[in-house]
Amino acid sequence: MIKRLFITLIVLLATTAAFAGGKSCEMKSGKSVELNGTLLQQTSGDHEKIVFKVANSDKSYTVCEKTKESVLKLGNEGRDTLHVKGKLVNCGEGEELFIDTANKI
């Protein structure tokens, strides 16, 4: 009885750990980048995401959810241009921008 309870508890903990963090990102294999641009918030149905629009380009990248909140606040809802350093990482649905540091220009 105790053995069965113990095994059930281990399975439950392993399952919780596997699904707790949302999507997984391959942070170590990302390509380092330095970009200038703006951070914009986009809403599609119930989903909300932050997008980095590269200055003087038609390129944009979805910002990785693992980017710190303090970095995201610097964008001032797209009103301020930023210089960011980070990585293009493979996250669940495709390539995303993980921003390590950002400075207002």
Helix residue ranges, H only, the chain: 2-19, 69-73
Residue 86 token pair: 């980070």
Quick one: average pLDDT of 52-76?
91
CA-nearest of 32, 17, 21 to 98 is: 32
Determine the length of the chain: 105
Query: 6 vs 79, which has greater pLDDT?
Result: 79
| pLDDT per residue as tens digits for the range 11-36 | 555 554 444 455 677 777 789 999 99
Domain coordinates in residue numbering, the chain: 23-104
Residue 104 token pair: 């207002």
Give me Rg for the CA atoms of the chain: 18
pLDDT over 70 (residue 10): no
Q: What's the CATH fold of domain 23-104?
A: OB fold (Dihydrolipoamide Acetyltransferase, E2P) (2.40.50)
pTM of the model: 0.71
d(CA 10, CA 15): 9
